[in-house]
Amino acid sequence: MTGTTRRGFLQSSAALGVGFFAGFGSAQERKERSQNEQLAIACVGVGGKGSSDTDHAGVVGEVVALCDIDENHLNRKAERFAKAEKFFDFREMLTKLGDKIDAVVVSTADHTHAPAAAMAIRMGKHVYCQKPLVHTVHEARVLRQLAREFKVCTQMGNQGTAGDAFRTSVDMLQSGVLGAVREVHVWTNRPVWPQAPKVTKRPDPEPCPKHVHWDLFLGPAPERPYAKGYHPFNWRGWWDWGTGALGDMACHTANMPYMGLNLGLPTSIEAESEPLNEETYPGWAKVVYEFPARGELPPVRLIWYEGRKDGKRVLPDISLLQGTAKNFSDSGSLLIGENATIYSPDDYGGTRQLIGPGAKDLKKFENKLPRRKSRDIDLEMKKEWVEAIRSNNYKHALSNFDYAAMLTEAILLGNVAIRAGKKLTYDGNEGRFAEADANKLLHKQYRAGWKL
């Protein structure tokens, strides 16, 4: 085929859902071909959320490699993607396949997001990574810089970003019709997995099942023996692997106010929680972020609520709902403006109710963000990522790492404040606290054999 005819064939094949993978040529040649051909995608973590992420990757491209530390997850997904090569170790996969891969989807436990994404980006691969983008503040800053340096297209999997209602709320906030917003409240019904106060120490070690590659699950985390209750889901509540309720859900629930108000990085963070233990996140916490003025926008105080204290959920004062409801939703946000308040009673900022005396008199505003016009927002996030790759415009993916890494950095500063147990003053330009002893909590030591 001539080049023109071949491109047309590939585009038609992709539209029909027919896979095509050309595993040859230099990295630059493959990058140029990816503008028109179906992308060759490798998926790291194919169980749990990674299962649907892998299925979606098969819609927007061709899945050519599967990687998981759990052979049961890996083999089940290989039944659907029989031509994909199987791996247990993403380092081996990326090293072996090299230029045969255009893009990588990372859906592992939180603590291995950054090393997998960083290795792929350094190889020039486009990356889609599940939320929270990383495990530590330092990792967030590194991934943001790497995405810029290697000029790849990226997207974080906080799928609410693709919703039309979410984007309408962002447009509303950025239009200024709510007036000055100085106070935001965000809450969650998490944790829904075992952690403090019920779990505060490690369970007794047990023989690891043959289908689980435990050393690869640990990845960069400190070595410890296998025990039931760690894999495949309950790792979220452990300091070494997860990011707790705040890391798990704020990339969803705080996303709309964060984007709409262009919050950037906070200048101070203060948290209160139940007494801490060395192994698991606390059973409840309240975190207060202070964001500075941004141009003409005033400073904002954002307050996060999670868990249960003395058997009762930690929540904002019910009076903030101004009589519109008797109870708060399971998860949601309140943005208090001078003219009206936005009440969004869901995880993604995908629904909203305008409350307050001025709600009926708000002026019309312009819709500026593109609308995806689909209810399958999870798939739309992947489609938008691929559109960014094909157009060579990373900004087309709304939750690209330039944005998502800053959102994640801001959120994870809350976990640092929980551990520090005192108010912290943060310099976002330098990525450091004025309280020198807290700076060690911004990063972690990687285990031998693993690197960022």
Looking at the fold, whether 36 and 149 belong to one and the same domain comes out as yes
Number of structural domains found in the chain? 2
Q: What is the pLDDT of residue 10?
A: 36
State whether 293 and 191 are in the same domain. Answer: yes
Residue type for position 48: G
Separation between Cα atoms, residue 111 and residue 16, nearest integer Å: 37
The CATH number that applies at residue 61 is: 3.40.50.720
Residue 399, both tokens: 């939750």
Q: Check the CA dihedral 249-250-253-259 and report its sign.
A: negative
Residue 32 domain flag = yes
CATH number of residue 229's parent domain: 3.30.360.10
The Cα-based distances of 47 to 43, 121, 353, 414, 432 in angstroms read 10, 23, 36, 28, 36
Which positions of the chain have pLDDT values less than 50? 1-25, 30, 33-34
The verdict on 272 and 365 lying in the same domain is yes
Same domain, 183 and 319: yes
Q: The tokens of 306 are what?
A: 């999670």
Instruction: Judge if 395 and 284 occupy the same domain.
Output: no
**Buried b or exposed e, range 164-201, using 16+ CB within 10 angstroms:** bbbbbbbbbbbbebbeebbbbbbbbbbbebebbeebee
Q: Is residue 449 part of a domain?
A: no
DSSP at 437:
G
**Are 346 and 332 within 8 A, CB to CB?**
yes
pTM of the model: 0.92
Q: Closest Cα partner for 164 from 7, 398, 361, 343?
A: 398
323 and 386 in a common domain: no
Verify that 356 and 387 share a domain, yes or no.
no
Residue 344 sits in the same domain as residue 197: yes
Residue 214: inside a domain, yes or no? yes
Q: Are residues 231 and 251 in the same domain?
A: yes
**Together in a domain, 176 and 221:** yes
The pLDDT of residue 28: 56
- Tell whether 269 and 346 lie within a shared domain: yes
The answer to the question of residue 156 being in a domain is: yes
In a domain? residue 93:
yes
Structural domain including 24 reads 3-161+379-403
**Do 76 and 111 belong together in one domain?**
yes
Residue 328 lies in a domain: yes
Distance CA 129, CA 367 (A): 28
Nearest to residue 85, comparing CAs of 17, 127, 146, 23?
23
Residue 33 domain-assigned?
A: yes
Least Cα distance to 131 among 420, 404, 445, 450 occurs for 404
In a domain, 96, yes or no: yes
